[in-house]
A and B are shown apart, each in its own frame.
Chain A
Amino acid sequence: MSDVILEMRNITKTFPGVKALDNVSFSVSQGEIHALVGENGAGKSTLMKVLSGVYPHGSYSGDIYFKGKECRFRDITESEEVGLVIIHQELALIPFLSIAENLFLGNERAKNGVIDWNESISKTKELLDRVGLHESPNTLITNMGVGKQQLVEIAKALAKKVQLLILDEPTASLNESDSEKLLELLLQFKAHGISSILISHKLSEVSKVADSITILRDGATIETLDCRKDNITEDRIIRGMVGRDLTHRFPPRESKIGETIFEVRDWNVYHPLHEDRKVSTNVNITVRKGEVVGLSGLMGAGRTELAMSIFGHAYGTRISGKAYKHGKEIDISTIDKAISNGIAYATEDRKAYGLVLIEQIKDNITLANLEEVSDGGVINEPKEMTVTTEYRDKLNIKCSSILQLALNLSGGNQQKVVLSKWLFAGPEILILDEPTRGIDVGAKYEIYTIINRLASEGKGIILISSELPEILGVCDRIYVMREGKIVGEMPASEASQEKVMKYIMTQQEVVEQ
């Protein structure tokens, strides 16, 4: 069993300004299920992208050996040729093609460019049998549930003669029984000698099926645990995932917390497309003056959906529940109304939702509050210049001029433009969704300083973050969300990473101690 099938040595991968992987080594034995765990942003997906050739040879340093041979993949096709297949979190199937068409996409059973449908269909049936999916090969992907689609992805991998299967969060969007089925399948493959790398946040699954577990943290390998020898508990894994020094990463702050300024009661939201799927269930949250409230949870826990539904019903349908500001009920049914009621929402995806990239910094900053810099619908340009220059200086946006396009700024500075926009809108409640995602440590510190200053000015802040240290380092109080529900609430003084992680990970409700 100890034959090493894959070995990655001293992998280092840097993005402009960020070291995503730092000297990572990782190896997988023949016929094992190897789990790769770590917080969001720990570098798991980056490592797998290096492995599968998404980041081609030369864009990283270090060596990859697969079955003893050195590999220098230039793209995914090359890695798939040797039997390395990755299944991404977002499924890559074409919805309006059939199972058979999807299975052999790019790998068609054809003679001289003419598809041999008989062979395609019979091969498809064979592969579907192997993954235990009883569907007609002609079924369209769009008519299948996510669980079955996942199985089609795996069948597709089998069609490519997979030797090492990489699954990135395969059960994130699956229900209990589908997840169970999938894990069974992995065990079956193992018996047939196919190794798998399983990236998962669900530690219960990991400890159930994994033969060994490698923990990544901040782009470095922390340790590899062998589950065959020792009994590894979830707590043990969590300790490895979070154990890190917290000093000096967050500016100090004295909290001056006042009365409740914002409250959401019995908030229910349904999915905009699947109208029977609830994305927020009976959520109650309060924010006090000068308080930073953390909203913790995994990706997909429903935090962004909750925040956007509060922000003028920007997400979801059939929204019910009430919102109060200073004890008085307010109407937040449109974004315009939410803004004029003093709510601001800085999105997690600043490029897609936060900025008009092809416009100037100036235009972006004033976009949400153009009334303030205009008289009777005509923009007062001198005033606009003065205001935006003020924000540039206050938030230390590094740019050649406020007339520079937002496109040409670094991530951290783009984030500051988004923050400027919302500060200029003059909100009392600010919802910040992953404000430090993808920006470097120095800029993070600046963002934290801004958050502290806003709190000391008496604003109420809801901070959504997937980074636990950030939640613990910045917030006064923490809510934990899972599957659209608030499953825990605690003051930051009583919180620890282990405690929050337990709420996040544990499938059954934690009883309040």
Chain B
Amino acid sequence: MKTLSTLFKNNVREYGMLIALIVIMMFFQYQTDGILMKPVNITNLVLQNSYIIIMALGMLLIIVAGWIDLSVGSVAAFVGAIAAVLMVNYHVNWGVTMLVSLLVGALVGAFQGYWVAYVKIPAFIVTLAGMLIFRGLTLVMLQGEAVGPFPTQFQKLSSGFIPDFFHYKGFHVTTILIGILLSTLLIVLDMRARKNQQKYGFEVTPFYFFVIKNIAITAAVMGLCYLMASYKGLPNVLVILFLLITFYAFITSQTVLGRRIYAMGGNEKAARLSGVNTPRLLFYTFVNMGVLAALAGMIVAARLNTATPKAGVGFELDVIAACFIGGASASGGIGKVVGAVVGAFLIGVMNNGMSILGIGIDWQQAIKGLVLLLAVFFDVYNKNKNV
């Protein structure tokens, strides 16, 4: 059996970031006199950061594959603009608009992926070009003006909440039920994984640690659900986020596809010589990024209820920072979905907390930059210590 200290040492990266997140949350909770954790602010926090997290999922795959995508902010704005023009100027049905928008995102991803994967132009250059191209096209689409408002159904994408089937006054019972269901599911899954590990003779964490861990997770899930339930229930965006995170965590850790992306990022030549069609895989990684950027673009537009030429400026930086804070390696092959999500939340909590405290955008940027540098320094330091 592993002792707690070795367990922590081996997973210092994952636990370290989680602890950093909790510490930062507690700090702001204290500094803001409890505003941070108020249900309405938590809901806001999720809405404000949902698009960063969604794009971080795609970005993580690209970074794991060994590349980078600088264009995601522009692509999100571009797709938001297309959706706006379709709905407002051409009165296209909101459902059709969403499908078309996702398709446009895929095409944009395919366009950039083609140059990177098949023509072998470095992604930094291709997506730098993409950043300019799609920002420019956004301006062209919107003719320099904000376009809106949108049909309510489309707005719901961002500002809606899941329906409550119980109509209990002032409390969202469905949310609590979902919370209970989810907690149970997580515990069952963790128990199964543990059993499997024991079956194959692997060292497992001490039982008490397993119990504490599950109690902590259950408490976090139920606490969040309780907070949400006492406001308006779970936001639609949070449900989308949860499904996406689960899906990508599954893809990266459990599937052939995910395994191949990591292998490609770890050693492209070895992966290719093992029969992995690396150009095609890389191409689809960019297509995936395009689709996620499109989804993020729609959520941004829906939230503001307009598409503006300036939407999404600088998003790429937050998204990339989230991945690196979450432990992804700039040279590829290393990085976890959960890490990127924690990284995105860390940035989100800092944005939100500092805004509540009235810290100006100037200092916010400087502090975020320092946190990014610190997080990566922590990585490098640990790596050197272990060698």
Chain A positions near chain B (C-beta within 8 angstroms): 311-312, 314, 334-336, 338-339, 345, 347, 352-359, 363, 366-368, 370-371, 374, 377-379, 381-382, 385-386, 389, 401, 403, 421, 425
Contact = CB atoms under 8 A, between A and B. Distances in A.
Given A311-B273, A377-B257, 19 more contacts: A312-B275, A314-B272, A334-B277, A335-B272, A335-B274, A353-B269, A353-B270, A355-B270, A356-B266, A358-B333, A359-B266, A363-B263, A370-B259, A379-B256, A382-B196, A385-B200, A401-B202, A403-B202, A425-B275
A510 B349 CA distance: 77
Given A356-B263, A356-B267, A370 B256 contact: yes
A491 B263 CA distance: 41
A206 B62 CA distance: 53
5 closest Cβ pairs, A-B complex: A356-B266, A368-B274, A356-B267, A370-B256, A367-B274
Nearest to A340: B275
A357 B334 CA distance: 11
Contacts of A401: 202
B336 interface: no
A338 B260 CA distance: 18
A357 B196 CA distance: 26
Interface in B241-295: 254-257, 259-260, 262-263, 266-267, 269-277
Contacts, number: 84
Nearest to A354: B270
A377 B256 contact: yes
B267 A371 contact: no
B71 to A, nearest CB: 27
Contacts of B266: 356-359
B169 interface: no
Contacts of B260: 367, 370
Contacts of A363: 259, 262-263
B199 interface: yes
A312 B196 CA distance: 38
Contacts of A339: 275
Given A378-B254, A382-B199, A358 B334 contact: yes
A379 B274 CA distance: 17
Contacts of A377: 255-257
A358 B270 CA distance: 12
Given A363-B259, A370-B256, A356 B273 contact: no
A339 B260 CA distance: 16
Given A335-B272, A421-B274, A359 B263 contact: yes
Contacts of B275: 312, 335-336, 338-339, 368, 425
Contacts of A357: 266-267
Given A357-B267, A359-B263, A379-B254, A367 B276 contact: yes
A43 B298 CA distance: 65
Nearest to A418: B270
Contacts of A336: 275, 277
A244 to B, nearest CB: 34
Interface of B: 196, 199-200, 202, 254-257, 259-260, 262-263, 266-267, 269-277, 333-334
A333 to B, nearest CB: 13
7 contacts: A335-B273, A352-B267, A357-B266, A359-B266, A378-B255, A379-B259, A382-B200
Contacts of B259: 363, 366-367, 370, 379
Nearest to B266: A356
A504 B35 CA distance: 81
A352 B255 CA distance: 25
B271 A356 contact: yes
A265 to B, nearest CB: 24
Contacts of B276: 367
B344 to A, nearest CB: 24
A356 B272 CA distance: 11
A366 B255 CA distance: 12
B270 A356 contact: yes
Nearest to B199: A382
A358 B274 CA distance: 16
Nearest to A314: B273
Nearest to A334: B277
B277 A359 contact: no
B99 to A, nearest CB: 25
Contacts of B273: 311, 314, 335, 345, 347, 353-354
Contacts of A314: 272-273
B40 to A, nearest CB: 40
B255 to A, nearest CB: 5
Contacts of B196: 381-382
A315 B196 CA distance: 42
A411 to B, nearest CB: 16
Nearest to B200: A385
A359 B262 contact: yes
A379 B259 CA distance: 9
A379 B255 contact: yes
| B199, B256, B260, B271 interface centre (most CB from chain A within 10 Å) | B256
A243 to B, nearest CB: 37
Given A335-B272, A335-B275, A336-B275, A356 B255 contact: no
Contacts of A378: 254-256
A377 B259 CA distance: 10
B357 to A, nearest CB: 40
Nearest to B333: A358
Nearest to A401: B202
Nearest to A374: B256
Nearest to A371: B256
Contacts of B271: 356, 367
Nearest to A355: B270
A359 B196 CA distance: 21
Contacts of B262: 356, 359, 363
A172 to B, nearest CB: 24
A203 B335 CA distance: 53
A386 B260 CA distance: 20
A356 B268 CA distance: 8
B181 to A, nearest CB: 23
A334 B269 CA distance: 14
A421 B271 CA distance: 12
A345 B270 CA distance: 11
Most chain B Cβ neighbours within 10 Å, of A354, A386, A403: A354
Contacts of A355: 267, 270
Contacts of B257: 377
A84 B251 CA distance: 57
Contacts of A334: 277
A473 to B, nearest CB: 27
A146 B274 CA distance: 33
Nearest to B260: A370
